Structure 1
């Protein structure tokens, strides 16, 4: 059985933080790794971010650590409405999501919504798209779907 996502290979753990510079340095020191470059998510016109069904200008600072088969993502959100900001305000710093790479993002979103897991936030990034599904009540964490454009011949957004 392949489950709802078509695979069970976790690719990322996302952690919300108030101070990405401080926390990324702490992770680098703890694991003896280089501190990663901190990036900022794309502007709304590029990212096309939607939160709870409406557009948002929300952005976040991101830092990524490659930890073997898993990637650790640190996220410091701005103060615009987003899953990141609301979760940080309600729960404080800590794990926000676990992520899985999927194929057929729209179908996976519809399937999960049909099972009672609503779409919380979605957007685009260079080379793909993401969607946060509200699985917290059942799974105690938000689930992120990642779909990458590996095959440019099928990329309709180019």
Structure 2
């Protein structure tokens, strides 16, 4: 059986765009019966090297994470700068934004996705790794996020 474009079938994370990370974090914590996690800002562009549609991008977002076994729920509250997060909130409102998969070889995977008709929308660095949002919405009805941890 083929391992497909990703090289894995294991979903690492589901990302959800929200307007108010404090409230939605409280709601998820109560629902899951866990302590509410602290949220944090994504790194500034100088550190994260964020690019949106091929251009340097100052966009940031508040993030909160819930670890649910092997799957992580990520809540994302975007700032007002243009980004995949802000676009989604403006166009669709709150809701599921992406499905993330852990991969190896980010540059190669981004090229493979591009060659398969799934262009890169946004990418950046985080402490311990990097991410890339690929435009799979037409076919898969959700973005795919590639995560590569060091």
Q: Same fold (TM over 0.5)?
A: yes
Q: Which residue of 1 aligns with 2:109?
A: 108
SS in 2 for 1:81: coil
SS in 1 for 2:80: coil
Q: Which residue of 2 aligns with 1:127?
A: 128
1:6 CA displacement: 0.7
Q: Which residue of 2 aligns with 1:69?
A: 70
Number of equivalent positions:
149
Q: Which residue of 1 aligns with 2:5?
A: 4
Rounded to whole Å, the distance in 2 between the matches of 1:113 and 1:61 is 28
Rounded to whole Å, the distance in 2 between the matches of 1:95 and 1:83 is 13
Could you give the per-residue CA deviations for residues 105-154 of structure 1, whole angstroms, max 9, x where no partner exists?
A: 000000000011000000000000000000000000000000011xxxxx
Structure-to-structure mapping, 1:37-116, within 5 angstroms: 37-116=38-117
Rounded to whole Å, the distance in 2 between the matches of 1:132 and 1:19 is 22
1:53 CA displacement: 0.6
Q: Which residue of 2 aligns with 1:30?
A: 31
Could you give the per-residue CA deviations for residues 43-87 of structure 1, whole angstroms, max 9, x where no partner exists?
A: 110000000010110000000000111000000000001000001
TM-score under structure 2 normalisation?
A: 0.98
1:14 CA displacement: 0.1
- Stretches of 4+ moved more than 3 A in 1? none
TM-score under structure 1 normalisation?
A: 0.93
Residue ranges of structure 2 left out of the alignment (5+ in a row): none
1:8 CA displacement: 0.8
SS in 2 for 1:33: coil
